[in-house]
Chain A
Amino acid sequence: MSDLVRSYLTVAIFGAASIGLVGITLGLARILRPPTRTDNKQKLLAYESGVDPVGGDWAQSQIRYYVFAVLFVIFDVEAVFIFPWAVRLEVYGVFGLIEMLIFIVILLLGLVYAWRKGVLRWV
Chain B
Amino acid sequence: MIGLVYWQETAIKLAVILGVIPVTSLILVYLFLFKMMAFMQSRLGPMITGPHGTLQLIAEAIKFLQKEDIHPDNADKHVFALAPIVVLMSTFLLYVILPAGPDLIVEDLDVGIFYALAVSSLSALGVLMAGWASANKYALLGGLRAAGQLIAYELPLVLATMGVIIQAETMSLQGIVHAQANFSIFGLDSGMPFIFTQIVGFAIFMIAAQAELTQTPFDMPVAETELVGGFHIEYTGFRFLLFFMAEFGTAFAFAAIASVLFLGGWSLPFVDPNENWLNFVGPGVMLFKILILAAIIFWVRFTVPRLREDQLQKFAWKVLIPVSLVNIAVTGLIKVAV
Residue of A nearest to B157 (CB): A79
Q: Judging by beta carbons under 8 Å apart, are A86 and B165 in contact?
A: yes
Chain B nearest CB from A35 CB (Å) reads 8
Docked CA distance A122–B220 (Å): 15
Contacts of A86 in B (CB 8 A): 162, 165-166, 328, 332
Q: Judging by beta carbons under 8 Å apart, are A33 and B140 in contact?
A: no
Q: Judging by beta carbons under 8 Å apart, are B170 and A122 in contact?
A: no
Contacts of B89 in A (CB 8 A): 15, 18-19, 22
Q: Mark A23-59, 1 if CB is under 8 A from B, else 0.
A: 0011011101111110001011111110001000111
Chain B nearest CB from A114 CB (Å) reads 8
Q: Judging by beta carbons under 8 Å apart, are A120 and B228 in contact?
A: no
Interface residue tally on B, bucketed by range: 35 or more
Contacts of B170 in A (CB 8 A): 87
Given A7-B109, A33-B65, the answer on whether A90 and B335 have CB atoms closer than 8 Å is: yes
Among B37-45, B273-281, B317-325, the stretch that binds chain A is B317-325
Q: Judging by beta carbons under 8 Å apart, are B329 and A101 in contact?
A: yes
Q: Judging by beta carbons under 8 Å apart, are B148 and A25 in contact?
A: no
Q: Judging by beta carbons under 8 Å apart, are B238 and A15 in contact?
A: no
B138 within 8 A of A: yes
Q: Mark A1-19, 1 if CB is under 8 A from B, else 0.
A: 0001011101101110111
* Interface residue tally for chain A (C-beta within 8 Å): 68
Docked CA distance A53–B228 (Å): 15
Chain B nearest CB from A120 CB (Å) reads 5
Q: Judging by beta carbons under 8 Å apart, are A75 and B70 in contact?
A: no
Q: Judging by beta carbons under 8 Å apart, are A10 and B336 in contact?
A: no
Q: Mark B246-264, 1 if CB is under 8 A from A, else 0.
A: 0000000000000000000
Among B51-59, B192-200, B308-316, the stretch that binds chain A is B308-316
Docked CA distance A48–B134 (Å): 11
B28 within 8 A of A: no
A72 within 8 A of B: yes
A115 within 8 A of B: yes
Other-chain residue from A15, A28, A58, A120 in contact with B317 (beta carbon distance below 8 A): A120
Q: Judging by beta carbons under 8 Å apart, are B238 and A26 in contact?
A: yes
Contacts of B84 in A (CB 8 A): 22
B155 within 8 A of A: yes
Other-chain residue from B18, B148, B314, B318 in contact with A17 (beta carbon distance below 8 A): B18
Docked CA distance A4–B111 (Å): 11
B96 within 8 A of A: yes
Q: Judging by beta carbons under 8 Å apart, are A47 and B69 in contact?
A: no
Residue of B nearest to A36 (CB): B68
Please provide the 10 A-B residue pairs with the shortest distance between their CB atoms, ordered closest to farther: A122-B310, A18-B92, A57-B135, A46-B136, A29-B238, A86-B165, A44-B73, A72-B151, A57-B74, A10-B107
Q: Give 27 CB contacts A-B under 8 Å.
A: A10-B13, A11-B93, A11-B96, A14-B93, A14-B96, A15-B92, A21-B18, A22-B85, A29-B69, A37-B68, A58-B132, A58-B135, A61-B144, A68-B148, A72-B152, A75-B155, A76-B151, A82-B159, A86-B162, A87-B165, A87-B170, A90-B335, A97-B333, A101-B329, A107-B325, A120-B313, A120-B318
**Residues in A lying within 8 Å of B, measured CB to CB:** 4, 6-8, 10-11, 13-15, 17-19, 21-22, 25-26, 28-30, 32-37, 41, 43-49, 53, 57-59, 61-62, 65, 68-69, 71-72, 75-76, 79, 82-83, 86-90, 93-94, 96-97, 100-101, 104, 107-108, 111, 115, 120-122
